[in-house]
């Protein structure tokens, strides 16, 4: 389908180029700058960009990295934003747009561990909430070791650790394996305390 005259628009990047329609329906190809500081490891990718002119440029870099992971079927990405001096927590609307965009790019297929500045740790919780509500598995960290530990932990293992809740049943102590065991054990404990008619 052709373009309307005098309409200028761009299509997503195809290989090293983006396709743009000019005012006279002419097509031009604009080179897309190579995504630097992106490295693929055995089980995950590492993206540690450096320097940028604006917050919007930082968002574009993250978006490109996430899209690359998704298209190359890389399920985990360690993103370190501490090298981006202008990538500071913005206002609520910008945080919302950031979360929406990255969650859309990931399509729930890329898990992201974000090594962030103290400002992001303090003020970036709204981004995490919005992103998680849209199916993105993401979390902020102060250091790379703790980020990697979380990133390489499977969802099943994390769920199992979170569901382990110690409780007492009768006179013994039982550490139930899951939350459902905890509910059953609580019911047994209440039953044992209920007075019985002889």
In the chain, CATH 3.30.750 sits at 38-153
Phi then psi dihedrals of residue 67, to 5 deg: -60, -40
Please list, in sequence order, all residues whose beta carbon lies within 8 angstroms of the beta carbon of residue 151, skipping any fewer than 6 positions away.
44, 76, 78, 111, 113
Cβ contact 116:124 at 8 Å: yes
Render each residue's pLDDT in the chain as its tens digit; 198 residues: 444 333 333 444 444 444 444 444 444 334 446 788 899 999 999 999 988 778 999 999 999 999 999 999 999 999 999 999 888 888 999 999 999 999 999 999 999 999 999 999 999 999 999 999 999 999 999 999 999 999 999 755 555 544 444 433 344 444 443 444 444 445 545 555 555 554
Please give the distance of CA 190 from its chain centroid, rounded to a whole number: 41
The structure tokens 């103290």 sit at 118
Helix (H, G, I), strand (E, B) or coil at 80: strand
Q: What CATH code is assigned to 38-153?
A: 3.30.750
Alpha helices in 19-171 (DSSP H): 55-71, 92-106, 118-123, 125-133, 144-151, 155-163
Question: What's the predicted TM-score (pTM) here?
Answer: 0.64
């Amino acid at each position: 389908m052709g373009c309307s005259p005098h309409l200028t628009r761009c299509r997503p990047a195809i290989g090293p180029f983006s396709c743009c329609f000019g005012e006279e329906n002419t097509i031009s190809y604009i080179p897309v700058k190579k995504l630097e500081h992106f490295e693929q490891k055995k089980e995950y990718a590492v993206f540690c960009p450096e320097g940028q002119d604006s917050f919007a440029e930082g968002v574009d870099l993250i978006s490109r990295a996430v899209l690359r992971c998704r298209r190359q079927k890389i399920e985990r990405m360690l993103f370190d934003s501490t090298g981006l001096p202008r990538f500071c927590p913005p206002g609520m609307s910008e945080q919302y747009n950031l979360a929406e965009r990255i969650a859309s790019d990931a399509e729930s297929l890329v898990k992201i561990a974000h090594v962030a500045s103290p400002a992001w740790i303090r003020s970036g919780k709204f981004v995490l909430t919005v992103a998680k509500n849209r199916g993105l598995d993401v979390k902020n960290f102060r250091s790379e070791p703790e980020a990697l530990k979380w990133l390489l932990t499977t969802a099943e293992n994390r769920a199992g650790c979170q569901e382990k809740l110690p409780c007492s049943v009768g006179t013994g102590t039982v550490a139930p394996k899951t939350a459902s065991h905890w509910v059953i054990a609580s019911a047994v404990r209440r039953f044992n305390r209920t007075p019985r008619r002889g």
